[in-house]
């Protein structure tokens, strides 16, 4: 009886501590956040007549947020610009600074998302798109980006014969075919919401990231990532392109990675784990580099699913990839199939290789060894 009482007490204590950590802890850190000025005076107060940010969404934009969630847009898009050390969001043109908790304090429903099948939308309203552009994209995304995977939403519009001033004309890419559409109130709500997505202000806890002069002059490649425009640095484009070549190549200098993990990065169920949205790929760089040098054997768990197989180190012959080739292919898989993570440099690979000096070739790692603080 005493043991049962102790057991039940232990359960309540555990639940209580968890509640304190997740609810009270979060409240103490973020509960008092409110709109503020871009900078405070020397006493830590908001200067008089300062503009406060963030600002609340208009009524129609709030209704549009509900439409955004109902249509499943949050499935493919995030609304959070990440820090420089975790990705290239700022360099891609998705924002001038990382997002912070204060950006979301006035939102009734925070739609951060968790996958990037398309680009981040935290600053979509700052990219200069017109309402007509938004409506055309919603009606038929492929008329703007032919390779877009975004599903069309023609049910939000009425196709008509004679246009009025509020109607929109959509032309085919060759200009030979055109249609006139009239937005529904649902479409207007959604466009109002998308247009309002802006984190174009500084806050006391975060400033705009100043690019170095060399970075500002660096050539960038304009891309249409699924359904919204973005920019990717030229050097990153080059590294990803070289990495894809290593991933797909089944000859000397290639990793032949696609044979197990597949062209789409989804792997094979029960045999080879996915690389798309994989916690192993997006997580610790050092662990990923070690696997690419020496391979991996035994049971592992990827995204909650267990696999038990042997992965020889990539390369033909196995383990023959150079530091640059490893850096390129790992940067590729960390930025493909909806993944978005920081690049890996040849110098980082060389550093890990030096730390493993003396390890026998083909001495594959195990999950337990990679989890150990001393390897």
For residue 264, being part of any structural domain is answered with yes
Split into its structural domains, the chain has a count of 2
Same domain as 242, residue 166:
no
Same domain as 317, residue 190:
no
Same domain as 344, residue 255:
yes
DSSP 24: I
What is the distance of C-alpha 144 from the center of its chain? 22
Same domain as 339, residue 238:
yes
CA dihedral for 319, 320, 326, 332, sign (positive or negative): negative
Q: How far apart are CA 271 and CA 339, in angstroms?
A: 21
Please state, for a pLDDT cut of 90, what percent of the chain lies above it: 53
Domain end, chosen from 182, 202, 222, is at: 202
Same domain as 286, residue 188:
no
Domain range for 300 is 233-371
Same domain as 86, residue 160:
yes
Same domain as 242, residue 360:
yes
In this structure, what token pair is assigned to residue 263? 């062209």
For residue 223, being part of any structural domain is answered with no
pLDDT, tens digit, 9 for 90 and up, residues 174-225: 667 788 999 999 999 999 999 999 999 999 999 998 865 545 444 344 434 4
The predicted pLDDT at position 8 comes to 83
Q: How far apart are CA 16 and CA 252, in angstroms?
A: 58
pLDDT, tens digit, 9 for 90 and up, residues 65-101: 999 999 989 988 999 998 887 777 888 888 999 999 9
Place of tokens 């150079």: 322
Same domain as 193, residue 67:
yes
E-strand spans in the chain? 157-160, 168-171, 178-183, 220-225, 228-233, 296-302, 305-311
Same domain as 343, residue 265:
yes
For residue 15, being part of any structural domain is answered with no
For residue 107, being part of any structural domain is answered with yes
For residue 138, being part of any structural domain is answered with yes
- Kindly write down the DSSP assignment for every residue of 278-345, as one continuous string: -HHHHS-HHHHHHHHHH-EEEEEEETTEEEEEEEPPSTTTTT---HHHHHHHHHHHTTSTT-------
The predicted pLDDT at position 273 comes to 94
Same domain as 239, residue 197:
no
Domain end, chosen from 161, 180, 202, is at: 202
Same domain as 146, residue 79:
yes
CA dihedral for 155, 160, 166, 171, sign (positive or negative): positive
DSSP 181: E
CATH number at residue 102: 1.10.760.10
Same domain as 164, residue 109:
yes
Q: How far apart are CA 197 and CA 65, in angstroms?
A: 10
For residue 267, being part of any structural domain is answered with yes
Q: How far apart are CA 261 and CA 136, in angstroms?
A: 36
């Amino acid at each position: 009886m005493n043991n049962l009482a102790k057991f039940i007490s232990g359960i309540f204590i555990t639940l209580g501590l968890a509640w304190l950590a997740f609810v009270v802890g979060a409240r103490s850190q973020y509960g008092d956040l409110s709109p503020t000025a871009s900078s405070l005076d020397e006493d830590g107060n908001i200067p008089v007549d300062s503009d406060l940010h963030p600002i609340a969404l208009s009524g129609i934009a709030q209704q549009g947020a509900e439409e955004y969630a109902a249509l499943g847009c949050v499935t493919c898009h995030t609304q959070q610009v990440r820090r420089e050390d975790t990705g290239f969001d700022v360099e891609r043109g998705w924002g001038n600074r990382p997002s912070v908790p204060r950006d979301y304090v006035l939102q009734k429903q925070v739609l951060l998302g968790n996958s990037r099948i398309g680009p981040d939308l935290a600053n979509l309203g700052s990219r200069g798109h017109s309402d007509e552009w938004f409506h055309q994209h919603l009606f038929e995304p492929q008329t703007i980006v032919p390779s877009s995977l975004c599903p069309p939403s023609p049910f939000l519009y009425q196709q008509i014969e004679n246009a009025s001033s509020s109607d929109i004309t959509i032309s085919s890419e060759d200009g030979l075919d055109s249609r006139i559409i009239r937005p529904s109130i649902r479409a207007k709500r959604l466009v109002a919401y998308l247009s309002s997505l802006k984190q174009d202000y500084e806050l006391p806890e975060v400033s705009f990231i100043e690019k170095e002069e060399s970075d500002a002059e660096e050539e960038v490649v304009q891309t249409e990532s699924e359904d919204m425009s973005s920019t990717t640095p030229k050097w990153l484009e080059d590294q990803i392109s070289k990495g894809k070549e290593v991933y797909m190549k089944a000859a000397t200098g290639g990793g032949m990675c696609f044979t197990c993990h597949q062209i789409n990065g989804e792997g094979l169920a029960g045999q080879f784990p996915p690389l798309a949205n994989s916690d192993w790929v997006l997580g610790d760089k050092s662990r990923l580099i070690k696997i690419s040098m020496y391979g991996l054997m035994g049971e592992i768990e990827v995204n909650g699913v267990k696999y038990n197989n042997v992965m020889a180190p990539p390369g033909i012959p196995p383990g023959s990839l150079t530091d640059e080739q490893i850096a390129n292919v790992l940067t590729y898989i960390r930025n493909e199939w909806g993944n978005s993570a920081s690049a890996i440099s040849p110098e980082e690979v060389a550093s890990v290789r030096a730390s493993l000096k003396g390890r026998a070739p083909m001495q594959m790692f195990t999950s337990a060894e990679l989890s150990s603080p001393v390897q």
